[in-house]
Structures are given as structure tokens and as C-alpha cells.
A and B are shown apart, each in its own frame.
Chain A
């Protein structure tokens, strides 16, 4: 059990590429923090620097109050779960779990006790004597988790551990990781590019972009009050509608189509509206209205996403509960209330 503190951490590769450009972050003891961002945003590099698999170019990483910059991975008291599981193929599951403990000179009785405990939690007891090659993807994932658990480390590091699983298993394992992390209350850092995974797993979410932190907060904070247009676009599915806005004297016009009734303020450059905040039909109190031609309707089961284009060529997506009667080619109006409008300035920063 330990907190993790990153202070102005940077990573510069020999070629001069800056992968991480000054990240500071406090992760509390027992907290699950998810690093999320598009590929190349530096999230994996950051995780590997915490693990000790990448050198730290500048700044400090501290685990449990101890600066670990110069420590070998083994000395940092962390356990990592890899995307490809990284199980030792020539060892049985039991040997895989025991390897890290044996290397640290744990007594055999203690190793057996911890393996039995982990096997019971993860329900892998029946295949303890099999080789990883004889297991399914989900089972391997459990063994990889088991290898982390038996170590009883100060922190778990997860590097996209669910990316290799099929969609159904991914949801199941996601719930399981969440439950496990709660019951063990071990500080965890979890890296993913999947915003849904990030939203559901995180105590706190860190959105990274181009090696910098865009925003840190609880999933709901990020969803409701994205600090930048990047976060707004990244968190939530389907993504938030972002409309470029142009100031015209006192009024603001939207070149992509739609009209705003409310005053948006002088600096606004982008207007964001979540798909669920756009409602079909015209309302008198609406702050935003737009005329649409329906281009496509996606039915995903409990809800439908309607994609429409404005006469000016802009695109908008909105959400309708259940099966929608709206058909492609249809013309319609959508509107949104003033509270539903997210305003972003020229730099992409949130206004108000």
C-alpha cells in the first residue's frame, strides 16, 4: 500500500522525441487512477517509467514517499499486468505465480498459501498445473492478474490488459478488475485507450494528449465539465458534437449550421453539445436549434444514434431512446437547452 507521486516527469528519447512533457500527479493510497488518451499520447511511456522499464529523463517518481528514479523495477515493489499477459510459456501456471516470490526468497509454505489464496479469488485453481498455452485468453488474463496479486505489491500497474480480449470478455474482466482492486485496496495505475474502460474503472481519470495532462478528475467531472475541447471529444460515446463558432459583432454564428439564442460570450471558438442533450423538435426556451437532414440511424439496442447534416454541411449526432421512427432522408429540427452547451475558447480551454 502506497501513494505514487509524479513530479514534473519528462521523457525524451535519444532521437529528441518528447514522449512525456512534464507530468505531475498525486495518486493516493488505494486509489485507482486510469491514464487514458489516444495512441502516442505518452500514457504507456509514463506507466513504464513508474515501473522502471523506461528511464526518467527529468522529474521524479516516488512510490510510498521514496523516490524510485534510480531503482531497478524489482526494487520498486510494484507488479505489472501486460497487454499480451507476458506469462512464461515454459512454466505451469503455479510456477508462473511462484516465480516472483521465489526470486525474492519467500518461504515455500508462504508461496503455497498465497498461490492458493489468489487461485481462489481468481477461480484459476483448476488449471494451476497447466501451461499458459493450454489456457484461453480470459484464463491467461486471470493468471496474469494472479501473478500480480501474489506479490502483494505496493502498487499494481496495468498496461492495456484487456485489449486482447473479445468484447464480451472485456466487459466481464473489467468488472472483475474493478471488484478486485476495491477489495484489495491496492494503489493502481491503469492505462487504456478505451474511454469506456477508463470511465468505468477509474476513481480518477487522467486524460493525456501529446505528452501532457489535459485534465484530471473523477469520470463524471470529466464528462460533465470537460476542461478542454480535446477531453470533450475524447470522453463519451458517441463523441460530443463540436461546432466551430465565429464571433460577428455581439452575435455568434455557427458556420456549420444551427442557431444560438443565448449569449455565448466574446471568446468562444467552439461550441460543444453531447448527443443526449440534443432533443428532436423545436422548443421556445432552446438556446440552440439546428435544422437537419437525417443521414443515417444507428440502432444499438436500447438506444439509437441519429446522424444528421445541416444545410451548411455541418454534422450533428443525437441520441434517441429505444428504436427510433426517424428514417434517413427525413428533415427535422433539434434543439438544446442553455445548460447543455459547453463553450471552449480559441485555445480549446473551457469557458465558464
Chain B
């Protein structure tokens, strides 16, 4: 493959998928504190065109655009909830990797912890029940003779 063709292919493909135009945009300088806020925000935002990546991870053109957009919003002093709302207004809740706590998601957020309590409750009842059962009827030995032999081997 000729050098020229290689360069053309790489330029075409690497500078954005197909021949999508990438506009040169001015850098948006951020303070250290703003950089930290941006870094905290990006993993919570979903790239819409990728299969399952956050804006922090993705290199898809739309993700780069949105990242630049979010950077601009951070620079303009908007808070994290405001920025999230800005994106939700345009793309819907799908854009949030951390779903908001509301009527639809309380089961999602509280379910696992309720399940721990439930399981612990069942376990404790089981344990208490086992003692009561043992007290009521002395158990026959669990292992029969043949089994004992197997286990001793």
C-alpha cells in the first residue's frame, strides 16, 4: 500500500468517522477545581452512540462534541445538576448512567438493601426455628452408617 494512500486512509478514518467534519475549536481553559468537577461528571454521562460507554471513555465524534459542550458549561460556572438537566432536556434520562432517585427508580436504589434486611431476617428466623425443632424432636443422626464410612475414608 502506498504511503499516500495510507496517509489518506488514516486521515479520513482517524480524524472522525467517515468524512465527518471536525471543526477546530478553541481550547476552553479550566481551573484545577473545574477540571476536577469535569472529571467527576463525565463518567456519569452516557455516550449515546456507543454501545455502553461513558463520555469519559468514548472517542465517538458525538461523545467528543458533548464532552466539549460539557466543558464549556463547566467553564461558564454551571453546577453538576444543572449540566445534567441540560443534557436530559435534550436526550432524556438515558444520558444519565446514575439514574435519578424518583418514583420509577426507588426499587432500583433501595431494593438491594431491603433484600439484605429481608434475607438476614429469614436467616435469623431459620436459626431460631432450627433450635426449636431440635428441642422438640431430638434428631436422628444425620449420617447413616454407609455415609459415615464414605466420609471417614
Question: Does chain A bind chain B?
Answer: no
Could you list which residues of chain B lie within 8 angstroms of chain A, going by C-beta atoms? none
